Every structure is written in structure tokens, then in C-alpha cells.
Amino acid sequence: MSSSSSGELKRKRAEMEIVWQTPANPPERHDYIFRNGRRHVKPYYFEFISHVKNRWAGKTIVDLFAEEFKGRPYDYYVSAVKAGRIQVDGQIVPVSYIVQPSQKISHFLHRHEPPVMAWDVSIIQEEPDVLTVCKPASVPVHPCGQYRKNTVVGILQAEHSLAPLFPVHRLDRLVSGILILAKSAAKADLFRVQIEAGMVHKQYMAKVIGIFPEEEQVVNVNVNYNAREGRSSVEVGDCHGSTPLKGKAACTKFTRISTNGTHSIVLCEPITGRTHQIRVHLQYLGHPIANDMLYLSEVIADRSIEGMSADRAAAGRSSISTFPCSNRFDEYENSGEDFSIDPMCTNCPNLAPKGYDGHEEPLWLHCMRYSGPDWVYECPNPDWAFLS
């Protein structure tokens, strides 16, 4: 970088009024921008904090970031250290600084969250100590990974001033349906005790490929989740039981609700709660969820009709009509709302972070009902549940 361009960069940084956020900064209504059917979060400055692991010790601060956090180029980390955007124990350090175990590393960056579908998080029922909502697909339940404000908990806090909230259970990000949130940790613990004791009955519905059997199907097959690949697989033991299984015991009961000869709507009742259990058990039966690209095998995909994968569904059917909750597709469209461009940010000037393709579609899996010893919570069915 030339001295003139370096001076210009310093001048721009000096002109910027940077307000660093931490998890203590609550989401607010004005944090969101709605464009092209997506809910975006205005990029904001955020302090990521981590502590040096033993395997990181002995590396330079720049090499540590370049090797462990590959989402940004090496030159960015050099510039970030020099600018004080990366600090060790609250101090600015040189690029040659060698990190030691347990030191606190702060990375101050311009954070871009992935967008989600622009549906509202609609409130179904509010009680003194419990809130139930209809979770839209594509929105994670609580802060995780790149998501913080674009979450059910964040949106409810920003748009309804509901906080603190304690999710009683979780739904995968691409899954829609009933979500129970307690208004206190004590109430959440009471729900979790019932769940762990097997006293809670969960019912989902899925739109699957093919004519699902009319008779009830019970799948009692181990599920093994591979965190690196982000997917599960089933494990079936041999008849002699000589090969130990790595997966966890899993059981799901399936009942056909309807079929049109091409697809079926299936009631799914998980007895256990393993990661992607319903999705992988339906795949095991030969009837995967019709737009579940993670579990559609080549054989099954060849049997599906044109246009029914998650990617193709967007071309053949408007995703606006696939969920009962209201949406924000027109609100703020082309409103001219802007956000500050950060000269060091590797994602600016785009709203979405790099690597997000923007073509994600809701999964045809919906949580219909949760019921316990003396309570029942239900959510309206999505449009795709009604076959023509």
C-alpha cells in the first residue's frame, strides 16, 4: 500500500464515529433493513473475544488469525493488527507478537450478518411466564455463528421489547413452527425437566417425495451426527452385534396424512431428539423431504419431479406464499436506507457477508405441536402442507 493511500485510509478511519458493540447491546428496530424479501441487519461494529488455546501458543498474532480464521485474507489481518483492530489483553501489539496460552484476544470488526427471510416472528400466545411464537424458516432461534440480531430472540427483543427470553427447545434454522420461550430461567428449567423425563410429545409435519406407506412406520435406527460435514447418517448394526455403533439411539414414528401420488404429507413424531433425526430417518425410509438438498440422494433425486428441489422451488413458486405468518416483503423496499461503509471491512459495500448466495429456501419441515402433562401449544400449518 502506498503512503498516500495509507494516509487516506487513516483519515477515513479518523472521520468515522465507531461505536463498538458487545453482546450486552440489545438489538433495536432500526437495526433491520428489508430488501428483496430478505431481512438484513445493518452492519455494526462488534468485539469478538477469545482466549489463546494451547495449540495457538507460540504463533504470531497474524499467523494465528490467518491459519485459524480463514474467512479473511492475510493482508487484512496484518492491517487489523497495525490499526489496533486486533488486540491482546486489551493492548495494541506488533504483527510479530507471539501469543501465549490463555491470553485474551479481541477482534474489533465490522460485522455483517447473513440475511433471513422477511417474515415476521408472529406471537401466538403470551402468558405471564411463557411466550409461544411461530418461528419462520431460515431464522435461527438464538445467537449462533454469524447470527446475533437476525434471530428469533433478537427480533422479538427489537420489535416487541420482549427480553429476557429463554428458549425451551430449539428448531433447526431452516425449520418452521411452534417455538416455546420462557420468560424466566426457572420456568425454562421446569419445561426442560419434563422434556428430559419424556413427558413432552412433539409433532412435526413434512412434505416428502413419493407415496408414503399408508401403515404407520416406526424407525428405530441410530443417528450419527458429523459436525464437520454438518449432516447426520443412520447406523444399522449387523445381525451378530459384533460392530459397535458410534451413533446415538433414535426413534421416530411416521404416519401418512395425505398424498397426491407425487408427494406425501407425513406426521412425524420423534421419540428422541437427535440432530436432523426426522430428516435422516425419512431418507432411510426412501422418502426424504422433497426439498431437502442435504439428504436427497442421487437415486431419490432422479425420481423427483422437475422443480421440486429447494433450489428449483424458488423458480416455480413464490416463497411468499409458503408460510402463514405475515411478511415484510414490501416494507422499506428501495427506501434508500443506508449503512456506514468501513474502509477495512472485507464484506463492504454489500449488506450480506461474502459466501452467502441468497438462494436459500425454507425446508418443508414444520413443527406443528408441543404438548406436556397439562399444556398444549400449536402453530398454524404452512401452505405447502395442503397438496393439490
Is 172 an annotated catalytic residue? yes
How is residue 260 written as a grid cell? 397426491
* Residue whose C-alpha is closest to residue 211's, from 269, 135, 277, 290: 290
The pTM of this model reads 0.82
pLDDT at 334: 38
How is residue 261 written as a grid cell? 401420488
Residues 373, 375: Cα–Cα separation, whole Å: 6
pLDDT at 307: 35
The torsion defined by the Cα of 34, 37, 39 and 44, in degrees rounded to 10, comes to: -60
* Residue 110 phi, psi dihedral angles, 5° rounding: -90, 105
pLDDT at 23: 77
| Integer CA distances (angstroms), 88 to 55, 75, 169, 174, 240, in order | 17, 19, 37, 37, 56
Residues 189, 153: Cα–Cα separation, whole Å: 18
H-type helices in the chain, by residue range? 3-15, 61-68, 74-82, 152-160, 185-196, 277-284, 298-303, 310-316
Residues 181, 74: Cα–Cα separation, whole Å: 42
Q: Which residues of 69-102 are buried (b: 16+ CB within 10 A; e: fewer)?
A: eeebeeebbbbbbeeebbbbeeeebeeebebeee
Contact 24, 164 (CB under 8 A): no
pLDDT at 247: 86
Q: How many CB atoms are closer than 10 A to CB 388?
A: 3
Domains of the chain (ranges; CATH) run 3-111 (3.10.290.10), 116-333+356-385 (3.30.2350.10)
pLDDT digits (tens), the chain, 388 positions: 555 555 555 554 444 457 778 777 889 999 999 998 999 999 999 999 999 999 999 999 999 999 999 889 999 999 999 999 999 999 999 999 999 999 999 999 999 999 999 999 999 999 999 999 999 999 999 998 889 999 999 999 999 999 999 999 999 999 999 999 999 999 999 999 999 999 999 999 999 999 999 999 999 999 999 988 889 999 886 655 566 778 899 999 999 999 999 999 999 999 999 999 999 999 999 999 999 999 996 544 444 433 333 333 323 333 323 344 455 544 444 344 568 889 999 999 999 998 886 677 889 999 999 999 999 999 999 999 999 8
User: Which residue is catalytic, options 172, 302, 342, 374?
Assistant: 172
| C-alpha atoms less than 13 angstroms from C-alpha of 281 in its C-beta half-sphere | 28
pLDDT at 304: 40
Contact 69, 50 (CB under 8 A): no
pLDDT at 314: 29
* Residue whose C-alpha is closest to residue 163's, from 180, 181, 148, 147: 181
Q: How many CB atoms are closer than 10 A to CB 181?
A: 25
| C-alpha atoms less than 13 angstroms from C-alpha of 145 in its C-beta half-sphere | 11
pLDDT at 7: 54
Q: Is 384 helix (H, G, I), strand (E, B) or coil?
A: helix
Contact 278, 270 (CB under 8 A): yes
pLDDT at 27: 93
Indicate if the alpha-carbon torsion angle 60, 65, 68, 72 is positive or negative.
negative
* Residue for grid cell 455483517: 112
